[in-house]
Every structure is written in structure tokens, then in C-alpha cells.
Amino acid sequence: MFGHSSRSHRAHHHGHHVNPDRRAAGLKAALHNPNTTHEGREEAKRELRMMGRGNEAHGHPSLSSRIRSMLGIRSKNTRRHY
């Protein structure tokens, strides 16, 4: 997807550790981007599965998201605007 074959290179960008949540968000964005090639989408799905987020690659919410939704618990990063 990004022209690099080494997982260790993908896990670090210019010497900085990449937050797995941000990485997953970028991969999910690639899945929904109309400019992403078929091969790029397949690579993003593979990476998400390797990260243990395979369901998210198919547009399904995670188990924790489903439980929070059933219990009416808001996401941690949801802010209320007054």
C-alpha cells in the first residue's frame, strides 16, 4: 500500500512510534477512499486483520463498540458542546 514491505518500517515513521489507533484509522480511511486501488484496499484489510481489527475492515463495529452502544455508554473521545 505504501511501497514498504517491512512491518517494522510501517510500525515506525521517521523514528517515531505510530499509535495503533491512528494507524487503524488511516487504514479504515483507505478502505472508504474512492481513489484507493483494489490492491490498496486488500492491503489495508490484511493490515487491519494483522492488528486484530479484522471486523472493522468490513465495516462491522468491534465488540466493545457494540457493548457500549447497547449500554448507552458514550465513546471516550466524544465531547459535548455547550
Long-range contacts formed by 25-30: CB under 8 A, 24+ apart:
27/57, 28/56, 28/57, 30/1
Q: Are 49 and 57 in contact (CB under 8 A)?
A: yes
- pTM: predicted TM-score of the whole model, two decimal places: 0.52
- For the chain, what are the domain ranges? 7-71
Please state, in angstroms and rounded to a whole number, the distance separating the CA atoms of residues 45 and 38.
11
Res 8: pLDDT: 45
pLDDT (tens digit per residue) in 21-73: 899 999 989 988 999 999 999 999 999 888 887 765 566 677 887 888 889 88
- pLDDT for the residue 69: 82
Over residues 5-11, the mean pLDDT reads 48
- Distance of alpha carbon 23 from alpha carbon 27, whole angstroms: 6
What's residue 5's pLDDT? 47
> Is 57 in contact with 31 (CB distance < 8 Å)?
yes
pLDDT of residue 38: 94
